[in-house]
């Protein structure tokens, strides 16, 4: 146990969650059979029992599970359910409640999409030209995604089906409100320059689609015009445009190329042109690669979220203990908290900090004349 939980640059819980992701995610390599994967996952659970920071594993496993489910890259949905059951058996219902809800949402969404397709067939609309349209409806609070904080002007080519589904969902579930997570949405667009042999299919994010659709009627646009038309956040649009330039789908004009580098921000006057001479051996081209800044930010946010959650869990544990015991000496309170918390080992400084916070909030107080004894305040 001490060797597994050594102080490495990457925490054991994070490493084990990422290893599970390698096992459960589709890849270009030959994946093992389900029976073999089931045996490997059983071995994973043996290691999991010896990990002290189970909350770190939970946080990263939840993020990676969300990615697999949203992008439909799971090797097997049955194996996903099996792994959640193993974690539930080891750590209890509360530990896996959000994972279970995420898993359930995928099945509920499939039924919802079937009903929407039936609705569209029974009520055809003239502008329903999108093929393979599907939506996943995620339960707020269960998934590791937050509602968008900035505005986004979805492209007119996507607006009709977008609004039609929203209307359909409102009729199905009155009182609920849909918040679209465009950052997690993807689609395919066909690139064609007159001849079938020069056509390609680009797999893009919704943001990339909205940028490319701007060039349907014009071969060149300034960065400022793209910003106005899409309303994508300036920093994000800067990265997205540079990414499309790196794929040779877009090209900077000669007067702009000298002033723009990977480390400099694009200016509103920088002119972007559609690369009419684009060529690629592949028919299907994946442009939806994660931005480096996003990947790094997600990891940092996950670690910070674990720290914040731990402080709340420790405070809740202290309040429960003091409410039950009414009075307790400092050393006994430390021992009680360490004994009760199973998903991680709280440090003494962290517990002391939480005691101080609760004293300030008037949940507990020190006894007069006994600074090492605390009393619960009803």
pLDDT tens figures, 300-342: 888 888 888 899 999 999 999 989 888 889 999 999 999 888 8
pLDDT reported for residue 27: 78
- The residue-averaged pLDDT of 165-177 equals 86
- The residue-averaged pLDDT of 119-137 equals 78
Which residue in 44, 54, 29, 112 sits closest to 82, CA to CA?
A: 44
The pTM for the full model equals 0.81
pLDDT reported for residue 130: 63
- The residue-averaged pLDDT of 163-169 equals 89
Which residue in 236, 241, 239, 191 sits closest to 211, CA to CA?
A: 241
Least confident of 25-29, 69-73, 88-92, 300-304: 25-29
Q: How far is Cα 310 from Cα 317, in angstroms, rounded to an integer? A: 10
pLDDT reported for residue 3: 47
Cβ burial, residue 241 (10 Å; 0-12/13-18/19+): buried
Cβ burial, residue 43 (10 Å; 0-12/13-18/19+): exposed
Q: How far is Cα 355 from Cα 362, in angstroms, rounded to an integer? A: 10
Identify the residue with better confidence: 249 or 261.
Answer: 249
Q: Are strands 200-205 and 284-286 parallel, antiparallel or unpaired?
A: parallel
In this prediction, what percent of the chain has a pLDDT beyond 90? 38
Least confident of 7-16, 112-121, 164-173: 7-16
The owner of tokens 């199973």 is 342
- The residue-averaged pLDDT of 107-123 equals 88
Residue 149 pLDDT > 90, yes or no? Answer: no
**pLDDT confidence of 376, banded at 50, 70, 90?**
confident
**pLDDT confidence of 294, banded at 50, 70, 90?**
low
**pLDDT confidence of 28, banded at 50, 70, 90?**
low
pLDDT reported for residue 6: 46
């Amino acid at each position: 146990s001490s060797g597994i939980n050594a102080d490495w640059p990457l925490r054991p819980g994070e490493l084990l969650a990422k290893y599970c992701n390698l096992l459960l995610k589709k890849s270009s390599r030959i994946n093992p059979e389900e029976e073999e994967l089931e045996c490997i996952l059983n071995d994973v659970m043996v290691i999991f029992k010896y990990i002290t920071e189970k909350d770190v594993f939970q946080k990263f496993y939840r993020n990676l599970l969300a990615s697999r489910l949203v992008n439909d890259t799971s090797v097997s949905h049955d194996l996903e359910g099996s792994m959640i059951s193993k974690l539930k058996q080891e750590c209890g219902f509360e530990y896996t409640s959000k994972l279970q809800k995420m898993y359930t949402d995928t099945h509920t969404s499939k039924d919802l999409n079937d009903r929407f397709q039936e609705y569209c067939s029974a009520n055809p609309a003239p502008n329903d030209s999108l093929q393979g349209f599907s939506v996943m409806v995620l339960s707020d609070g269960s998934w590791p995604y937050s509602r968008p904080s900035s505005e986004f002007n979805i492209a007119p080519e996507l607006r009709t089906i977008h609004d039609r589904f929203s209307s359909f969902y409102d009729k199905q579930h009155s009182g609920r409100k849909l918040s679209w997570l465009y950052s997690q949405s993807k689609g395919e667009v066909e690139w064609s320059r007159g001849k079938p042999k020069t056509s390609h299919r680009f797999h893009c994010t919704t943001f990339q689609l909205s940028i490319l659709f701007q060039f349907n009627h014009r071969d060149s646009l300034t960065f400022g015009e793209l910003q106005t038309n899409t309303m994508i956040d300036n920093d994000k649009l800067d990265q997205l445009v540079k990414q499309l330039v790196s794929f040779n789908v877009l090209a900077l004009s000669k007067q702009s190329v000298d002033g723009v580098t990977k480390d400099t921000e694009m200016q509103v006057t920088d002119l972007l042109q559609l690369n009419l001479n684009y060529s690629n051996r592949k028919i299907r081209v994946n442009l939806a690669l994660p931005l480096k800044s996003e990947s790094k930010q997600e990891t940092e946010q996950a670690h910070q979220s674990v720290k914040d959650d731990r402080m709340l869990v420790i405070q809740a544990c202290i309040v429960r203990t003091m409410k039950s015991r009414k009075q307790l000496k400092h050393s006994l309170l430390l021992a009680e908290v360490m004994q009760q918390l199973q998903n991680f080992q709280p440090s003494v400084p962290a517990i002391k900090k939480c005691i101080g916070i609760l004293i300030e909030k008037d949940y507990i107080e020190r006894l007069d004349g006994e600074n090492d004894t605390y009393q619960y305040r009803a």
